[in-house]
Amino acid sequence: MATSRRAFLGYVLAAPVLVAAATPTGAEAAADLLDLNDIMTAAALPTSGLISVEINPDGTVSFALPRAEVGQGITTSSAMLIAEELSVPVDRVRVTLADARPELLFNQLTGASNTTIATFTPIRVAAAVARIRLLAAAAEKLGTTDLRLRDGMVLDRDGGRRIGIGELATAAASPRTLAVGVELAPRESFTVIGRPHNRIDGPAAVTGRKKFAMDLDVPGAKPTMVCRAPTINGRPGPVGNLAEVLAMPGVTDVVPISTGVAVRADTFGQCIDAVRALKVTWRPGPVDGKSDETVLKELAAAELPLGPRPLTPVVEGRFTFHFRSNSALETNCAIADVQPGSAEIWSALKSPIVAKQTIAARLGLPSSKVTVHVTEGGGSFGRKLFFDAALEAAEVSQRIGKPVKLMWHRADDSRQGRTHPMATSRVRIAYAGNTVLGFEQRHTSVTTDLGHGLGELLTAMAAKLPIGDAAFAQTFFQFSHTSPYRFGVHSRLLSETGKGFNTGSMRNVYSPDTTCARELMIDQLAARMGREPYRFRREFLRDERSRAVLEKVAGEGGWGRAMPAGTAQGIAFHSEYKAVSACLVEIDCRPETVGRPIRDGVGGPRVTKVVFVVDVGLAVNPRGLEAQMMGCVMDGIALALTSSLHLRDGHFLEASWDDYFYTRQWNTPPDLRIIVMPGDSDQPGGAGELGVSAAMAAVACAYARATGTMPTVFPINHGTLSFTPKPTIPPIPASPTDGADRA
């Protein structure tokens, strides 16, 4: 049999029940060394680095996904892949999250919207191996090879004789590890992949049964919180009233650690009271005294110059993007049980291997003595690439010799947590007549911390990259940016400045900002060249697939319809992660809308309609993809209009959700339509972060058109402080006591 693009090599592992496996690096293509479906002993195979699918005697299928599920729906899409290749119902596939497995090296990092791209083939290969083994075992029992798999059963030709796969789990097992060639199902035959499927964890989520780290019952792990400095990354000095706080109701331990003073108590409520009571002398942090204004000056000084100004006409713009909070709804948290000689950690971690190694080093233990369990995460958007809470929990547990359930207060998460770095983006586009000659962009950003494994991944890959030993960030910047428009000579450069802030990616790193700047300038350029902005984009987009999403969004969204003064449309395009997307927005900037009363919140311009069109090639689960795009749209609205952090005197003023204005129901578009293009690829693209860029850019473009003024500072309301900042000492607010009265 000839090998094809769908032919791969997988393995049957030596085990008492059927365990089928594949390499996690995209599975090896089956070459000439064996015919498909041939089986050979693979005695020397290092099986520890494989991902595997296990058939259980009860007819279920188990798979431990080496990624973090933080809401993006990858447990559901992974179950769908297995269901497709194994012909079992999706609800019989049990997907759990794998503990940290150092032997997987870089294949346990959840980031850059890469999970489905990277695991699409290996998961299917493992399932396809299991399929072959199950059919072979059934053939032995039934005395015929004319068999098929359906709904978790092996059936003979007329369906008269059938055996459940659970009954075959032992017979299909192998005492030796075997290599098996498989051919994956072609796209045309899919019955599960590509069809909308509800989330497999939905029932647990809506009944309160879904367990997050803080919901786990680890014996002796009592609530623990940390009293933190009034400025970013400030360090603790002497504590004035340690004994007094230790004597407070419920408090079991008070201990200074590297990041503050930790308190362990019977309840988190008593932790909050104790943290508020602590009198600590604080040492300054690395950015004390800095403010929005000083950082803007640093960014201006670090900006790389544009090239020599051409003799032809140009449009030029400079945009500022303020710090934004990367707080998920679940604050940073982890459970740690550090014993003499070993440690066990539970936390939602997107880089569990780096976490394991770093925690081991901090505790002075061999890495092999630290077990890291990856729990379900309550949102991430990049935040859970970092493991600050796990490291802290381990430190506290070791210091006091007791298990701890450590959680950051919301105020800590907002003020000392990760942020999307402040950045400026300068764009110059040169044109002459009907031709665009060149596109230059200089993105200048506070340094983005990539020290969570992505940096290491790029180091390891550096030899294979065509740009040599460029800095990680520059590498990441270049590789996450394509040039979707035929704009002549492109030049895009990143420069970074300033350390000391807790930064990280936030549903992408650079693209929402760089795309927003680019799309606003394209509207300017089109106007200058006397062109209609949609047709202009359409003409200059590079390929048919890109044009198709733009045409679709313009058609479905009614681009160009007449609208009242003070309201307008915006349109934008973005491509990344092997996907293309386009967004059409309608916005209402009329004074009566902008000024509508909102208690403890920000109204502002209302996005009234969003149409979002996406083509990810092959959408494994279109319903999940729609959900991701919906979330991306809400992020894009927040980034353009309402959500930012204000830096003053070395700390952020925002401390909770009543002052950090992420999109709320009163900001959502009443009319939202997500359109998933059928796509013609047999490979999926990434989605988790994809939609933010086009959404943010389209909102900005609509705002510019509605108000007649192109915004250059984001979010547009950053100049107005819409709240009274909470104190920094004590670092966290008291809980109100009037809840029952408000019932």
Subset of residues 326 to 345 that bind other proteins, contact rule: CB under 8 A: 327-331
Token duo for residue 94: 């049990």
Kindly tell me which of 601 and 617 has the beta carbon lying closer to other proteins: 601
Q: Least CB distance from residue 324 to other proteins, whole Å?
A: 12
Is residue 684 packed enough to be buried (19+ CB in 10 Å), middle (13-18) or exposed (0-12)?
A: buried
Kindly tell me which of 205 and 729 has the beta carbon lying closer to other proteins: 205
Member of 381, 472, 501, 559 binding other proteins (CB under 8 A): 381
Number of shown-chain residues binding other proteins (CB under 8 A): 77
Q: Least CB distance from residue 335 to other proteins, whole Å?
A: 13
Q: Least CB distance from residue 652 to other proteins, whole Å?
A: 16
Q: Cα dist. 530→433, 523, 525, 527 in Å?
A: 10, 10, 8, 5
Residue 7 CB contacts under 8 Å (≥ 6 apart), including other chains: 29, 30, 36, 181, 182, 183, 184
CB atoms within 10 A of CB 25: 15
Cis peptide before 186 (omega within 30 of 0): no
Kindly tell me which of 387 and 612 has the beta carbon lying closer to other proteins: 612
Q: What is the rounded (10 degree) CA torsion for 67, 71, 75, 76?
A: -150
**Interface with other proteins, residue 738, by CB under 8 A:** yes
Kindly tell me which of 378 and 498 has the beta carbon lying closer to other proteins: 378
Q: Which stretch binds other proteins (CB under 8 A): 30-38, 286-294, 339-347, 732-740?
A: 732-740
**Interface with other proteins, residue 733, by CB under 8 A:** yes
DSSP string covering 219-252, please?
TT-EEEEEE--SSTT-EEEEES-HHHHHTSTTEE
Q: Least CB distance from residue 576 to other proteins, whole Å?
A: 19
Q: Least CB distance from residue 259 to other proteins, whole Å?
A: 20
Q: Which residue has the tokens 């942020």?
A: 419
Query: In angstroms, rounded to a whole number, what is the distance separating the alpha carbons of residues 27 and 18?
Result: 19
Q: Cα dist. 707→590, 635, 701 in Å?
A: 9, 22, 10
Token duo for residue 735: 């809980």
Q: Least CB distance from residue 73 to other proteins, whole Å?
A: 7
* Footprint on residues 51-80 left by other proteins (CB under 8 A): 70-73
Query: In angstroms, rounded to a whole number, what is the distance separating the alpha carbons of residues 146 and 21?
Result: 25
Q: Least CB distance from residue 646 to other proteins, whole Å?
A: 18
Q: Least CB distance from residue 672 to other proteins, whole Å?
A: 5
Query: In angstroms, rounded to a whole number, what is the distance separating the alpha carbons of residues 108 and 25?
Result: 11
Q: Which amino acid is at 382?
A: G
Member of 186, 249, 307, 708 binding other proteins (CB under 8 A): 249
Q: Least CB distance from residue 708 to other proteins, whole Å?
A: 27
Kindly tell me which of 138 and 630 has the beta carbon lying closer to other proteins: 630
**Cβ–Cβ under 8 Å, residues 547 and 582:** no
Q: Least CB distance from residue 117 to other proteins, whole Å?
A: 20
Helix 544-557 × helix 533-540 angle, to 10°: 160
Q: Which stretch binds other proteins (CB under 8 A): 49-57, 266-274, 509-517, 524-532?
A: 266-274
Kindly tell me which of 72 and 717 has the beta carbon lying closer to other proteins: 72
Kindly tell me which of 70 and 554 has the beta carbon lying closer to other proteins: 70
CB atoms within 10 A of CB 561: 8
Kindly tell me which of 266 and 649 has the beta carbon lying closer to other proteins: 266
Q: Least CB distance from residue 492 to other proteins, whole Å?
A: 29
Member of 5, 148, 157, 211 binding other proteins (CB under 8 A): 211
* Footprint on residues 288-317 left by other proteins (CB under 8 A): none
Q: Least CB distance from residue 565 to other proteins, whole Å?
A: 23
**Interface with other proteins, residue 92, by CB under 8 A:** no
Q: Cα dist. 606→570, 664, 706 in Å?
A: 13, 11, 11
**Cβ–Cβ under 8 Å, residues 298 and 357:** no
Angle at the Cα of 615 from the Cα atoms of 610 and 617, rounded to 5 degrees: 160
Member of 409, 418, 552, 718 binding other proteins (CB under 8 A): 409
Q: Which stretch binds other proteins (CB under 8 A): 119-127, 323-331, 365-373, 571-579?
A: 323-331
Q: Which residue has the tokens 């060394």?
A: 33
Binding mask 629-668 for other proteins (x = CB under 8 A): -xxxxxx--------------------xxx---xxxxx-x
Kindly tell me which of 210 and 318 has the beta carbon lying closer to other proteins: 210
Query: In angstroms, rounded to a whole number, what is the distance separating the alpha carbons of residues 714 and 517?
Result: 10
Q: Which stretch binds other proteins (CB under 8 A): 95-103, 194-202, 530-538, 547-555?
A: 194-202
CB atoms within 10 A of CB 175: 8
Member of 4, 96, 198, 339 binding other proteins (CB under 8 A): 198
In 3-state terms, what secondary structure has residue 316?
Answer: strand
Residues facing 579 on adjacent strands: 576
Q: Least CB distance from residue 66 to other proteins, whole Å?
A: 19
**Interface with other proteins, residue 739, by CB under 8 A:** yes
Q: Which of 622, 624, 619, 618 is nearest to 680 (CA)?
A: 618
**Interface with other proteins, residue 547, by CB under 8 A:** no
**Interface with other proteins, residue 195, by CB under 8 A:** no
Member of 208, 219, 305, 340 binding other proteins (CB under 8 A): 208
**Cβ–Cβ under 8 Å, residues 571 and 584:** yes
**Cβ–Cβ under 8 Å, residues 730 and 230:** no
In 3-state terms, what secondary structure has residue 178?
Answer: strand
**Interface with other proteins, residue 133, by CB under 8 A:** no
Q: Least CB distance from residue 211 to other proteins, whole Å?
A: 7
* Footprint on residues 428-487 left by other proteins (CB under 8 A): none
Kindly tell me which of 55 and 328 has the beta carbon lying closer to other proteins: 328
The number of angstroms, rounded, from the C-alpha of 114 to the middle of its chain's C-alpha atoms is 9
